[in-house]
Amino acid sequence: MENKLVNTNPTIQVDSAHFEPLGTWTSDKLNASRAANPFLMTWVPGSARNNVMNVTHGEGVYLYDDKGKQYLDWTSQAVCANLGHDVPRAVIETAAQQMATLPFVYGGVGVTEIRTRMNQLMAEVLPGDLRAAVFPSSGAEANEAGIMMARRFTGRPKVISWYRSYHGATAHAGAATGDFRRWYGSDQVPGYVKAFNPFPLFFNHGGNNATEEESVQAALNMLEEQILNEGPDQIASIMMESVVGAGGCLVMPEGYMQGIRAICDEYGILMHCDEVMVGFGRTGQMFGFQNYEGVLPDIVSAAKGISGAAIPLSMTACSEEIMQFFDDKPLGWGSTYQAHPVAIAVAYENVKHLLQHNIVGRVQQMAPLFEECMQRLANDHPCIKQYRAIGMFGCLDVKDMDGRNPKLQHEAAHEAFNKYKKAYAENGLVGLHRYPHIHCAPPLIITEDELLDGFDRLDRSLTVLDEALGYYDDEHRDDNQVAAAGR
Ligand SMILES: Cc1ncc(COP(=O)(O)O)c(C=O)c1O
């Protein structure tokens, strides 16, 4: 398509279409512009951009593409658009008011009313003596600040985190990360020690016949021995997702988090909970660690749900003792946009909306139906080995015909997943894919009917995956049907 160029500056010529209102570029115009101006993807090769739809708008739990097709957002994007795709009126109005009054003041120069209010609200929402310390922009930055905080408070260099974890893509958050995303270079940052959480893939803590209590104790014994071998006085923090998100909705067994808290207390190590994915209601508690009775971390990082992803904002919170420690010394972490007033305005109204509409209570109410649907899929589809669910967060694990994991982290996805992904889109679902896990994390405002409809769409997509993995090949058909019926 020919575009007229506008002379806005003697040396820079830009397309006149830039001066047309937003929402007026046609699909042809969008596609031509995309083809001429390639962009990069993040965790997949750049050419995958060709498979990404042009999203035009959202409404409730749905997104729409430029052909008018409706998609139910099955993972709230990256488990962050927790209120779906309509931003509450108060969020828009308060953000606009802040933008009109004072769009920006640097966190080290002035304190805005909105930040003061947000600090108070967070002190009221966070349990125990936890207080919001800083408000960075991303989850990774909130973890960077939390790691710096732990190192400077304890004077110790090492951070223990889990193999099955994700903490962000900046240097230190990436080094603390356990999944494949640290292999792009973050792994070379010193000072990070990886431990197994209670969900190793190829062995059971305490042996195959161990009870849950025995496995928990064995996992804690292993962790303690690791600490002793690393040097307890070298370890600043144990950093963990309270419910592992991208790694498969791993809910810690009874006693494990309490055991970590006790180990931390014994060796003067700080407990740092990464609540970036599950914080602000996803699990049916305001924070994921509140699912474990009596557990209060020293450091909490959060993001995503704090603003419902309507704007980038995160938070690093800490205990009163840590806060006081930094009274006469710098935290040693910062960013231009820390405590950005417009971002905080969005988060402030978003959190108030969660409270006023009792979204967390709603998640608790919906949880049994959610879990029932997960159970049904696990029963009905031979390719599903098992599932986990908490609140409005769930994960199905896919198995191949031999009962094995069809995609380890270092392996390319089985071709069957491409067929499944196509079926998923054709059935009107949109979401993140992290094979062999299938995450279920719709917006927290989803209605019962929409939830059932979403699970039906997933059900149809999983039938394609069953077939693509060979479960219904003639020679196996009878066996599998019998097996499925018997479960
Ligand atoms: C548990 C957890 N921590 C940290 C991050 C990183 O957050 P961000 O992508 O905002 O940097 C994520 C992102 O998915 C996450 O799930």
pLDDT in tens, 350-387: 999 999 999 999 999 999 999 999 999 999 999 999 99
How far does Cα 110 stand from its chain's mean position? 31
Probe target for ligand 1 pocket from 170, 249, 276, 306, with the most ligand atoms within 8 Å of CB? 276
Q: Residue 262: its pLDDT value, please?
A: 98
Ligand 1: does its nearest atom lie under 6 Å from the Cβ of 144? no
Q: Residue 202: its pLDDT value, please?
A: 87
Q: Residue 409: its pLDDT value, please?
A: 87
Q: How far apart are CA 86 and CA 309, in angstroms?
A: 11
Give 470's contacts (C-beta < 8 A, 6+ positions apart): 401, 476
Ligand 1: does its nearest atom lie under 6 Å from the Cβ of 393? no
- Residue linked to tokens 């933008």: 99
Strands annotated E in 60-183: 62-65, 70-73, 131-134, 158-162
Q: Residue 474: its pLDDT value, please?
A: 65
**Segment holding 438, helix H or strand E:** strand 437-440
Ligand 1: does its nearest atom lie under 6 Å from the Cβ of 136? no
Take residue 114 and report the two structure tokens written for it. 């909105």
Q: How far apart are CA 142 and CA 315, in angstroms?
A: 6
- Residue linked to tokens 């006693």: 255
Q: How far apart are CA 285 and CA 242, in angstroms?
A: 12
Ligand 1: does its nearest atom lie under 6 Å from the Cβ of 432? no
**Segment holding 12, helix H or strand E:** strand 12-15
Ligand 1: does its nearest atom lie under 6 Å from the Cβ of 274? yes
CA of 251 to the centre of ligand 1 (A): 17
Take residue 343 and report the two structure tokens written for it. 């971002």
Q: Residue 11: its pLDDT value, please?
A: 82
Largest Cα separation within the chain, whole Å, is: 77
- Ligand 1 atom with the smallest distance to the CA of 303 is 10
Q: Which residues of 387-423 are buried (b: 16+ CB within 10 A; e: fewer)?
A: bbbbbbbbbbbbbbeeeebbbeeeeeebebbebbbeb
Helix ranges restricted to H, 107-255: 113-125, 139-154, 171-176, 212-230
- Ligand 1 atom with the smallest distance to the CA of 278 is 1
Q: Residue 484: its pLDDT value, please?
A: 44
- Ligand 1 atom with the smallest distance to the CA of 168 is 6
Ligand 1: does its nearest atom lie under 6 Å from the Cβ of 139? yes
CA of 139 to the centre of ligand 1 (A): 5
Ligand 1: does its nearest atom lie under 6 Å from the Cβ of 305? no
C-alpha dihedral (445, 450, 451, 453), degrees to nearest 10: -160
**Protein residue closest via CA to atom 16 of ligand 1:** 277
Probe target for ligand 1 pocket from 277, 313, 314, 393, with the most ligand atoms within 8 Å of CB? 277
Q: Are 276 and 142 in contact (CB under 8 A)?
A: yes
Q: What residue ranges of the chain have pLDDT lower than 50?
A: 1, 482-487
Ligand 1: does its nearest atom lie under 6 Å from the Cβ of 348? no
Ligand 1: does its nearest atom lie under 6 Å from the Cβ of 303? yes
Please calculate the CA angle 70-71-76 and round it to the nearest 5 degrees.
140
**Protein residue closest via CA to atom 8 of ligand 1:** 139
Q: Which domains, ranges and CATH numbers included, belong to the chain?
A: 89-356 (3.40.640.10), 360-486 (3.90.1150.10)
CA of 276 to the centre of ligand 1 (A): 6
Residue closest to 57 by CA, chosen among 38, 37, 71: 71
Question: Which amino acid, 329?
Answer: K
HSE value, Cβ hemisphere, 13 Å, CA-based, for 453: 14
CA of 438 to the centre of ligand 1 (A): 18
CA of 164 to the centre of ligand 1 (A): 14
Ligand 1: does its nearest atom lie under 6 Å from the Cβ of 241? yes
- Residue linked to tokens 């231009």: 336
Probe target for ligand 1 pocket from 166, 273, 434, with the most ligand atoms within 8 Å of CB? 166
Q: How far apart are CA 35 and CA 32, in angstroms?
A: 5
Ligand 1: does its nearest atom lie under 6 Å from the Cβ of 78? yes
Ligand 1: does its nearest atom lie under 6 Å from the Cβ of 167? yes
Measured N-to-C along each axis, helices 415-426 and 448-468 cross at an angle, to the nearest 10 degrees, of 150
Ligand 1: does its nearest atom lie under 6 Å from the Cβ of 363? no
- Ligand 1 atom with the smallest distance to the CA of 143 is 4
Q: Residue 467: its pLDDT value, please?
A: 97
CA of 246 to the centre of ligand 1 (A): 9
- Residue linked to tokens 């394609």: 464
Q: Residue 487: its pLDDT value, please?
A: 35
Q: Are 333 and 255 in contact (CB under 8 A)?
A: no
- Ligand 1 atom with the smallest distance to the CA of 80 is 14
Q: Is 382 exposed, middle or buried (CB count within 10 Å of its CB: 0-12, 13-18, 19+)?
A: buried
- Ligand 1 atom with the smallest distance to the CA of 304 is 10
Note the pTM of the prediction, 2 decimals.
0.95
Take residue 213 and report the two structure tokens written for it. 């209590």
Ligand 1: does its nearest atom lie under 6 Å from the Cβ of 95? no
CA of 82 to the centre of ligand 1 (A): 14
**Protein residue closest via CA to atom 7 of ligand 1:** 139
pLDDT in tens, 412-438: 888 999 999 999 999 999 999 999 999
Question: Which amino acid, 280?
Answer: F
